[in-house]
């Protein structure tokens, strides 16, 4: 009977009555506390859900004058452009960190790299450095070489995810049986063929995790695009929301509806991610910025 407070609910009435009363009380306390914490976590989300469908939304919490106009408005024009910009930046970032991560992770796992253990410690260390502090020098260089636009910013965001991606992919490749690669080599496959047709498919869950991590990281990035993107037509989702909050006539309903549309892909990706790999996937991301 290991710590099972729900034993009572399971119909286990074998124990003495006093223990039963105690267990029932524990059951109520445990589930009650968890429910209270859950409600506390839910409370801040209420406004978003209500304001998104409210024709007269404001910062205040109120019963909505129901409308779908907000949600329809934010899937068009500027809003759609902002989502496409975010997608572009995120795809570039994902490509950069995943491709460099696969080859680098493979080299660190399989090849004879001098000091590879020390390099991995260095990589682990880099995952802890906040992105915000690189922003002044990166801005300085980007401004000098006229790189203040979407693609270079995407590359930069990809690099900020690279340490964690390298770590994930290297660990995934470590678990691939070497015999598979040996067999392919005997068949005269060259190294690129081995990596792409043998190692990558087997290590795919880990590589996929790294790719999703990079994507979500870039999708949510606020400070790097704020500083590194100068053209308003290239604004990403977060910049759009930030601009809306500060604009003269604030359209609260639009802000709420757009925030939902913008946040949805991240939540969906997380669900996709955690399903096939049996739950518990947690994004690290000291690089959230």
Partner 1 sequence: MRPENGERRGWWKSSAAADGEQQLDAVGILLLLPATLLLVVMFIGPVGFAFYLGVTNIALVGPTAQHFHFTGLKNLHRLVNDRLFWESLKLTAIFLGASAVVGVTIIGMALAVLMQHAVTWLRTVVGAIVVVAWMLPPITAALLWYAFSTTGGTLSLLSGSDSDILNDFPMTIVCLANIWSTAGFSMLVLSSGLRTVPAEVLEAGKMEGASRWQVFRSLTLPIMRPTIVTNVLLVTLLSLANFSLIYIMTAGGPGNATNILPIYSYQQAFQFNKLAYGALLGDVVVIIATVFAYLYVRVSRPSRAGYRPQGKLA
Of 79 and 156, nearer to partner 1 (C-beta) is: 156
Binding part of the chain for partner 1, among 11-19, 66-74, 77-85, 281-289 by CB under 8 A, reads 281-289
Structural contact between residues 180 and 193, judged by C-beta atoms closer than 8 angstroms:
no
154 near partner 1 (CB under 8 A): no
277 near partner 1 (CB under 8 A): yes
Binding part of the chain for partner 1, among 11-19, 63-71, 72-80, 174-182 by CB under 8 A, reads 174-182
Q: Within 176-235, which residues bind partner 1 (CB under 8 A)?
A: 178, 181-182, 185, 191, 205-206, 209, 213, 216, 219-220, 222-223, 227
Q: Select the residue interacting with partner 1 from 87, 149, 171, 200 (CB under 8 A).
A: 171
Q: Select the residue interacting with partner 1 from 174, 197, 204, 275 (CB under 8 A).
A: 174
Residue closest to 260 by CA, chosen among 37, 43, 73: 73
CA 288, CA 131: separation in Å to the nearest integer?
Answer: 7
Report the C-alpha dihedral over residues 195, 199, 200, 205, rounded to 10 degrees.
-160
Residue 98 contacts by C-beta under 8 Å, 6 or more apart in sequence? 165, 169, 207, 210, 211, 214
CA 161, CA 101: separation in Å to the nearest integer?
Answer: 10
Using the structure block, give the residue that is written with the tokens 């682990």: 124
Q: Select the residue interacting with partner 1 from 53, 92, 162, 235 (CB under 8 A).
A: 162
21 near partner 1 (CB under 8 A): no
The DSSP annotation for 81-122 comes to HHHHHHHHHHHHHHHHHHHHHHHHHHHHHHS--TTHHHHHHH
Residue 66 CB, shortest distance to partner 1, in Å, is: 19
Q: Select the residue interacting with partner 1 from 52, 79, 83, 110 (CB under 8 A).
A: 110
Residue 193 CB, shortest distance to partner 1, in Å, is: 13
Please tell me what DSSP assigns to residue 5: G
CA 258, CA 23: separation in Å to the nearest integer?
Answer: 47
Q: Select the residue interacting with partner 1 from 12, 19, 21, 38 (CB under 8 A).
A: 38
Residue 71 CB, shortest distance to partner 1, in Å, is: 15
CA 214, CA 51: separation in Å to the nearest integer?
Answer: 30
149 near partner 1 (CB under 8 A): no
């Amino acid at each position: 009977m290991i710590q099972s407070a729900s034993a009572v609910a399971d119909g286990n009435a074998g124990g003495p009555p006093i223990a039963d009363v105690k267990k029932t009380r524990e059951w109520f306390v445990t589930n009650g506390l968890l429910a209270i914490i859950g409600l506390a976590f839910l409370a801040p989300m209420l406004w978003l859900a209500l304001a998104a469908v409210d024709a007269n939304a404001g910062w205040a919490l109120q019963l909505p004058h129901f409308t779908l106009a907000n949600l329809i408005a934010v899937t068009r024009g500027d809003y759609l452009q902002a989502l496409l910009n975010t997608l572009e930046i995120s795809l570039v970032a994902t490509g950069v960190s995943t491709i460099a991560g696969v080859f680098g992770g493979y080299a660190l796992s399989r090849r004879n790299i001098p000091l590879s253990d020390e390099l991995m410690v260095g990589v682990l260390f880099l995952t802890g450095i906040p992105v915000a502090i690189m922003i002044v020098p990166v801005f300085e260089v980007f401004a000098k070489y006229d790189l203040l636009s979407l693609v270079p910013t995407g590359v930069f965001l990809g690099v900020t995810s690279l340490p964690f991606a390298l770590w994930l992919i290297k660990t995934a490749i470590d678990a691939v049986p070497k015999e598979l690669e040996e067999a392919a080599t005997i068949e005269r496959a060259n190294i690129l063929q081995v990596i792409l047709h043998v190692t990558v498919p087997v290590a795919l869950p880990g590589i996929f995790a790294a790719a999703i991590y990079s994507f979500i990281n870039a999708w949510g990035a606020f400070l790097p695009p704020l500083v590194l993107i100068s053209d308003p037509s290239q604004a990403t989702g977060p910049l759009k929301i930030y601009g809306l909050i500060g604009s003269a006539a604030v359209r609260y309903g639009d802000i709420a509806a757009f925030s939902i549309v913008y946040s949805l892909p991240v939540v969906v990706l997380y669900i996709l991610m955690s399903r096939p790999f049996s739950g518990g996937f947690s994004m690290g991301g000291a690089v959230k910025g």
